[in-house]
Amino acid sequence: MPYINHVAIPVDDVDQASAFYEDWFGARVVPSPRFSVPVAWVLLGKVQVHLVQHPGRPSTAYHFAVAVEERARFEALYWRAEREDAFDRVTFQHHIYEMPSGGVQMWIRDVSSNIVEVNYPDIHDLDPRIVTVRKRWADYHEQSEWNTSSSLFMPEQAGLALEVR
């Protein structure tokens, strides 16, 4: 079955971007070949993020997500983003939303202004100070049975895994 091997994102400075992903998410820089532009490959869980030096404002239409399943780690990222003014409050009109399933989507900007979505499985498990500032997608967009079955985490957790034949 095919799977995501890596995503590539443009960054202003490869070293600064590498340091951001190492510091914020515990990513690890891994060896990469040399290219015509500076690059760094970082391993985040089982997926590589290829940081490609390409200065300039990235499109607001693109982002990737990092799943954080440990409450303390997610909350630490939230409070850090607040302290360092790293929330993206513009693209989705707010920085943290509750999915119909109760999952959480939080948006931050990396050092090159790329949007990084940070997911957590259960809004009700979080510090009440975070819960009170979240918005709910269901309050802004009508949800159907199909939409309420969506999941940000492993397809197996939501009963959405494909049968391998």
Q: Give the list of residues 6+ apart from residue 11 with CB closer than 8 angstroms, or none.
A: 17, 51, 52, 53, 54, 110, 111, 112, 114
Boundaries of domain holding 31: 1-55
CATH for 7: 3.10.180.10
- Is pLDDT of 136 > 50? yes
- Mean pLDDT to the nearest integer, 35-41: 91
Does residue 84 share a domain with residue 17? Answer: no
Does residue 74 share a domain with residue 140? Answer: yes
- Is pLDDT of 163 > 60? no
- Mean pLDDT to the nearest integer, 14-22: 97
- Is pLDDT of 162 > 90? no
d(CA 22, CA 81): 15
If pLDDT is split at 50, 70 and 90, which confidence band does 14 have?
very high
Q: What is the mean pLDDT of the chain?
A: 87
- Is pLDDT of 60 > 80? no
If pLDDT is split at 50, 70 and 90, which confidence band does 153 have?
low
Does residue 46 share a domain with residue 87? Answer: no
CA 141, 144, 146, 147: dihedral to nearest 10 degrees? Answer: 20
Inter-residue contact 67 to 25 (CB < 8 Å) = no
DSSP three-state, residue 116: strand
If pLDDT is split at 50, 70 and 90, which confidence band does 143 have?
confident
Q: Are strands 115-120 and 63-67 parallel, antiparallel or unpaired?
A: parallel
Does residue 23 share a domain with residue 49? Answer: yes
If pLDDT is split at 50, 70 and 90, which confidence band does 23 have?
very high
Residue 4 in any domain: the answer is yes
Q: Are strands 115-120 and 104-109 parallel, antiparallel or unpaired?
A: antiparallel
Tally of CB atoms within 10 A around 6: 12
Bigger pLDDT: 4 or 102? 102
Q: Are strands 39-44 and 47-53 parallel, antiparallel or unpaired?
A: antiparallel
Does residue 78 share a domain with residue 18? Answer: no
Both structure tokens of 14: 């490869």
Report the domain count for the chain: 2
If pLDDT is split at 50, 70 and 90, which confidence band does 73 have?
very high
